[in-house]
Amino acid sequence: MKEEKIRFKDAVKINLRGLLLVYSLVPGNLFMNAMLIVVDVVCSYWNFFFLAKLVNDVVLGSSREVLVWDVILVTIGQTLVLFLFNLLQKFWYYSGSNSWDAPNAYLNEKIMSMDYEYMESESIHNRRRDIDAMARYSGGGMCKLFWLATPVVERMIQMLVAFGYMAYLASRSFVAFPGEPWKAVAFVGVFSIAFVMLLILSMKKNKVAEKKMNQYNEANVPNYRQYQFYTREYMEKEECGKTIRMFRQQNVLSFYFDKLMKEINGNIDKIGKEDQKRNVWVGAIEALVSGLVYFLLAVMVSKGAILVGSICLYAGCITNFLLHFRGWLAQWVEISVNTKYVKMYLDFLDIPNKKYEGTLPVEKRDDDKFTIEFRHVSFRYPGSDRDVLKDFSIKFHIGERLAVVGKNGSGKTTFIKLLCRLYDPTEGEILLNGIDIRKYDYREYLSLFSVVFQDFKIPALPLGENVAVSREYDASRVKSVLERVGLGELLRKMPDGLNTPLYTDFDKNGVDISGGEAQKVAIARALYHDTPFVILDEPTAALDPLAEYEIYSHFDDLVGTKTAVYISHRLSSCQFCNDILVIDEGKAVQRGNHEKLVKDQEGLYYTLWNTQAQYYQTEG
C-alpha cells in the first residue's frame, strides 16, 4: 500500500464524518458515550477528593458527624459511582456492538447501488476486501474509530480536571514560600520541567511503537486478503471442494496457507516484542518522576501550603494526568494511523456513479407498444481498448420474439447489458420509443425488463420471496407462475409451501433444489414481474442442446404477448423464432427467420448451423 500523507485538517474531517456515519445509524450510542464519559470522570476524582477530605478532616479534628459522612462518601459513595459506571459501560459495549455492523451496513448499501460496471472490476472488489481484512484482523477502520473516540474525549476531560487541580497547586507554592516569589517560581519550574520531560519521553516512545505497529499491520493487509481468499472464497466453495479432492490440492494449498500464517504471525510477534520493550522503559521513568512528585508534595505539606490529606488528591491528579496523557497519545496516534483506513472506507462510499440518470418517466402504455432501437452502437469495456460491439444497429418491437445467436464471445451478453443499461454505449445511442434511454428515470426504465441471466443466482431465501423478490407478495400469483414453469409438483412437496427456505445454507429446514429447478425458479421470477420485455440470456448453457430447445420453445408459450429476447450460442435453440439476429465479433451480421438464414450459404448462420448440426440432429 502506498504511503499517503493526510493533512491534519483533512484527518479531522475524515474522522468526524466517519463518526457521524456510525452515530447516525445508532444514534443512542452518542448519548450513552456522553453519559459514560461524565460518570467515568466523576468516578476517577471521587476517590481522590473524598479520601483527601477524610484525611484532612481527621488531621483538623472535625466532628464525628463530618467524619462519618466522609467515610460513607469514600466507601458507599465510591461503590455506587463505580456500580453506575460499570452498568453504563455494559450498556456501552452492548449498544456499541451495533457499531460493528454499522460500517458494513453502509458498504452493503453502496455495493448494491453502485454502477454495475464496478461489479466487474476486480480492483473494486479488492478495495472492499482490504477494508474487510483491515477491520477483521487488526480492528482497523470505522470500528476502531468508534471505540477510540469515547476514550480519547474522556481522557481529554480527565486531563483538564487534573490540570485544574495542578494549577491550583502551583498557586499554593506562593503560600509555601511567602515573600519569596523566586523560590515559588523555581519550585513550579522544577515541577513543570520534570513533568514535561516525562510527557515528551512518553510521546516519543508511543509514536515509534505505533508507527512500527502500523507498518506491520500494513504489511499484513495483502496476507489477510489472501488468507480470506483461501478460507472463504476457495475452500468453502462446493466447486472448489471437488477440485481440491480430485487433484489433491490440499498439499499446494496447505503450503501457501502455512506460508501466509508464518508471515502474519511473524509480524504480530514483532509488534509484541517492541511493545514489551517500550513498556519497561516508560514504567521506569514514570516511577522516577512519581518519586520526585511525592517529594515535592511533601515539601508543600511541610511548608503548610497544603494539608497532608491533599497529597492523595494532588498525587492522584498527577498520576491520572500522566496515565491519561499516555493513553490519550497512544490513542491519538492510533486514530491518526487509523485515519488512512477510515479514508479507505469513505473513499469506497464516495466512488461516484458515473451513469447519467435521466428523469423522464417511461410512458405507461396499455397496448405495451414499445420499440427498442440500437443506433450505431459501439461499446468497449472500461479499461479495454477493444470494441466488443461495433457500429451495432437493430430495431425490434414489443410482442416480437427476437433470438440473438452467435459464437461464444461475439457480444450477445454485452448487447443485453447495454439494453438493460448496466453499461452505456461508448458511441451511438439506444432508443426506447425514439428517446435515448439515458433520459429515462433509471428505475422506471429497468422496470420494463425481466432477465434470466446465464449466471443467475437463487439466494438461500424462502421460495415465495425468491420468486417475488419481496417480503410481501401475492401468493396466488407466485403459485400460478410456479405451476406455469413446471414447478407445481415441487411446490406441493415443500414442507412449508412458499415459506420453505431454498437450500440448507442457513436453515436446516430448507430444501435443496437441483440446477434445473433453480433455473425454473429464475424463470418464474422473471415471469412474476410481468414486465413488457423478458430476456433469457443462455440460462440453459449447462443443458444439452435439445433440453435447451425444449425450454426455449416452451418459454415462448409462457411469455404470451410480451417481447422475448432469447440468447444462445446454439442455433438449434432459437429456430422457432421468426426473427433471428446473428452477431459476429460485435456486429449484427444477419437477420431473418431460420428458413431464410439457412439458405444463405455465404452467411455465418449457414456455417454455424452446419457445424453445430451434429449436436442436435435427432435420431428420427
Residues at the site binding ligand ADP, with contacts judged by CB under 6 A:
120, 381, 384, 388, 406, 408-414
- CB nearer to ligand ADP: pick between 282 and 604: 604
Those residues with Cβ within 8 angstroms of residue 466's Cβ, 6 or more apart along the chain or in another chain: 458, 459, 502, 521, 525
Cβ proximity to ligand ADP, 96 vs 406, nearer residue = 406
Q: Tell me the backbone φ, ψ of residue 605, rounded to 5 degrees.
A: -55, -45
- The angle at the Cα of 38, spanning 149 to 172, to the nearest 5 degrees, equals 110
Smallest gap from Cβ 410 to ligand ADP, in A, equals 4
**Would you say 220 or 413 has its CB closer to ligand ADP?**
413
Q: Residue ranges of the alpha helices (H) in 350-441? A: 412-419
Minimum distance from residue 251 beta carbon to ligand ADP (Å): 33
Distance CA 411, CA 420 (A): 14
Distance CA 213, CA 144 (A): 15
Output helix, strand, coil percentages for the chain, rounded to the nearest 5: 65, 10, 25
> Least distance from C-beta 265 to ligand ADP, angstroms?
37
The CB-of-432 to ligand ADP minimum distance in angstroms stands at 21
Those residues whose C-beta lies under 8 Å from the C-beta of residue 147, and which sit 6 or more positions away, are 96, 99, 139
Alpha helices in 26-141 (DSSP H): 28-59, 64-72, 78-96, 98-113, 116-119, 122-138
| DSSP symbol at 232 | I
Q: How far is the CB of 561 from ligand ADP (least distance, A)?
A: 27
Q: Which three cell numbers stand for residue 451?
A: 432477465
134 neighbors 141 (Cβ within 8 angstroms): yes
CB of 539 to ligand ADP, least distance (A): 12
Amino acid symbol at 606: Y
* CB nearer ligand ADP, residue 309 or residue 406: 406
Judged by beta carbon, residue 353 or residue 433, the one nearer ligand ADP is: 353
What is the grid cell recorded at 586? 460485435
Query: CB 469 → ligand ADP: shortest distance, Å?
Result: 24
CB of 522 to ligand ADP, least distance (A): 17
Measured over the CA atoms of residue 417, residue 422, residue 427 and residue 430, the dihedral's sign is positive
Bridge partners, residue 568, by sequence: 405
Q: Residue 144 corresponds to which cell in the numbers above?
A: 476502531
Give the residue with the Cβ less far from ligand ADP, 321 or 392: 392
> ∠ CA(221), CA(229), CA(223), 5° rounding?
25
Here the cell at position 145 is 474509530
In the block, which residue shows the cell 429447478? 517
**Minimum CB distance to ligand ADP, residue 368 (Å):** 27
The whole-angstrom separation of Cα 302 and Cα 188 is 16
Please state, as a whole number, how many other Cβ atoms lie within 10 Å of the Cβ of residue 515. 8
Residue closer to ligand ADP (CB basis): 306 or 388: 388
- Residue 19 or 418: the one with the smaller Cβ distance to ligand ADP is 418
DSSP annotation of 405 reads E
Centre a 10 Å sphere on the Cβ of residue 252 and count the other Cβ atoms it contains. Answer: 11
Nearer to ligand ADP, 106 or 453 (CB): 453
Give ∠ CA 611-612-613 in degrees, rounded to 5. Answer: 95
Beta carbon nearer to ligand ADP, 406 or 462: 406
Distance in Å, CB of 549 to ligand ADP, minimum: 19
User: Least separation, in Å, of the C-beta of 352 and ligand ADP?
Assistant: 19
**CB closer to ligand ADP, 118 vs 576:** 118
